[in-house]
Structure 1
Amino acid sequence: MEFCRLELLIVSAILRLMAILLATAYDPLDPYGIINIKWDVMSWTPDGYVVSLPGWTLGWTWARKEGIWSIVGAQATDQGEWSKLKGNIPYCCKRNPAVVDLLPGVPKNHQFTDCCKGWLTWIVTCSYLQMLASKKQTCCVSLSSFYNSKITPCPSCACGCQNEHNCAMSQPKISSVVESNTPVLQCTEHTCPIRVHWHVKSNYKEYWSVKISITNFNYWMNYTQWTLVAQHPNLNNITKVYKFVYKPLMLYNSLNETGMFYGVEDYNDLLLEAGPDGNVQSEMLLGKDKNRFTFHRGWSFPLKIYFNGDECMMPPPDSYPFLPNSANLNLVASSTLVTFLLLIMLVIHHSNGH
Structure 2
Amino acid sequence: MATAGCTMPRFRLLLDPNHYTTLLFYLFISMAILFGQSHAYDILDPNGNITIKWDVVAWTGDGYVATVTMYNYQQYRHIEPPGWILGWAWQGKEIIWTMVGAQATLQGDCSKQNQVPHSCVRTPTIVDLLPGVPYNMQVANCCRGGVLSSLAQDPLTAVASFQITTGLSGNRNTSVKLPKNFTLQTPGPGYTCGPASVIKPTMYEAKDGRRKTQALMTWSLVCTYSMVSARKTPPCCVSFSSFYNEAIVPCPACACGCEDKSTCYEEAPLQTVTDGTQPGITPQVIAPKIHCTQDMCPIRLHWHVKQNYKAYWRAKITISNRNYASNYSQWNAVFQHPNFDNLTEVFSFTYKSLNPYGDAINNTAMFWGIKYFNDLLMEAGPNGNVQSEILFQKDQNTFSFSEGWAFPQRVYFNGDQCVLPPPDAYPKLPNAASAVEAHISFMAFSCMIVVALICFI
**Which one of 330, 340, 361 corresponds to residue 235 of structure 1?**
340
Matched-pair contact (CA < 8 Å) for 2:288–2:323: no
The aligned counterpart of 2:310 is 205
| Percent identical | 55
Q: After superposition, give the CA deviation of every residue in 1:52-94 in whole Å (9 maximum; x if it has no partner).
A: xxxxxxxxxxxxxxxxxxxxxxxxxxxxxxxxxxxxxxxxxxx
CA RMSD, Structure 1 to Structure 2 (Å): 2.8
- The question of whether the paired residues in 1 share the 8 Å contact of 2:252 and 2:421 is answered with yes
Aligned mate of 2:391, from 281, 285, 306: 285
Equivalent position of 1:307 in the other structure:
413
Q: Distance in 1 between matches of 2:426 and 2:231?
A: 22
In 1, are the aligned partners of 2:404 and 2:428 still within 8 Å (CA)? yes
Cα separation, partners in 2 of 1:209 and 1:173, compared to 1, 3 Å: same
Partner of 1:80: none
Per the normalisation by structure 2, the TM-score is 0.41
Structure 1 residue 328 displacement after superposition? 10
User: 2:231 matched to 1:137?
Assistant: no
Give ranges in structure 2 of 5+ residues lacking alignment: 1-24, 26-31, 33-226, 273-285, 436-457
What SS is found at the alignment partner of 1:253?
A: coil
1:272 is matched by which residue type in structure 2?
A: M
SS in 2 for 1:301: coil
Identify unmatched segments of 5+ residues in structure 1.
Answer: 1-28, 30-35, 37-129, 176-180, 330-354
Does structure 1 conserve the Cα–Cα contact (< 8 Å) formed by 2:241 and 2:304?
Answer: yes
Whether the 8 Å contact between 2:314 and 2:389 is mirrored in structure 1 is: yes
Per the alignment, residue 355 of structure 2 pairs with 250
Partner of 1:212: helix, strand, or coil? strand
1:316 partner amino acid: P
**1:192 and 1:148 mapped to 2: Cα distance?**
25
CA distance in 2, matches of 1:266, 1:259: 22
CA contact (8 A) 1:172 1:182 kept: no
The one of 299, 308, 317 equivalent to 2:423 is 317
**Aligned structure 1 segments of 4 or more residues deviating by more than 6 angstroms:** none
- Are the counterparts in 2 of residues 167 and 183 from structure 1 also a CA contact under 8 Å? no
Q: What is the aligned partner in structure 2 of residue 147 from structure 1? A: 244
1:162–1:328 CA distance, 2 compared to 1 (3 A):
farther
Partner of 1:156: 253
CA distance in 2, matches of 1:315, 1:328: 25
1:230 CA displacement: 0.2
Matched length: 197
- Is residue 166–residue 183 contact of structure 1 (8 Å, CA) maintained in 2? no
CA distance in 2, matches of 1:261, 1:328: 39
Which protein has the bigger strand share? 2
Task: Specify the alignment match of 1:187 in structure 2.
Answer: 292
| Pair member with larger Rg | 2
Secondary structure of 1:318's partner?
A: helix
Whole-angstrom CA distance in 1 between matches of 2:301 and 2:262: 21
Deviations 1:83-112, CA, capped at 9 Å, x for gaps? xxxxxxxxxxxxxxxxxxxxxxxxxxxxxx
Aligned to 1:296: 402
One-letter identity of the residue aligned with 2:331: W
Q: Decide whether aligned partners of structure 1 residues 214 and 327 sit closer, same or farther in structure 2, where only a CA change above 3 A counts.
A: farther
The structure richer in helix per residue is 1
1:174 CA displacement: 2.7
1:95-139 alpha-carbon deviations (Å, 9 max, x no partner): xxxxxxxxxxxxxxxxxxxxxxxxxxxxxxxxxxx99x9742100
Question: Which amino acid letter does the alignment assign opposite residue 326 of structure 2?
Answer: M
Question: Structure 2 CA distance, aligned partners of 1:293 and 1:205?
Answer: 12
What letter matches 1:157 in structure 2? Answer: C
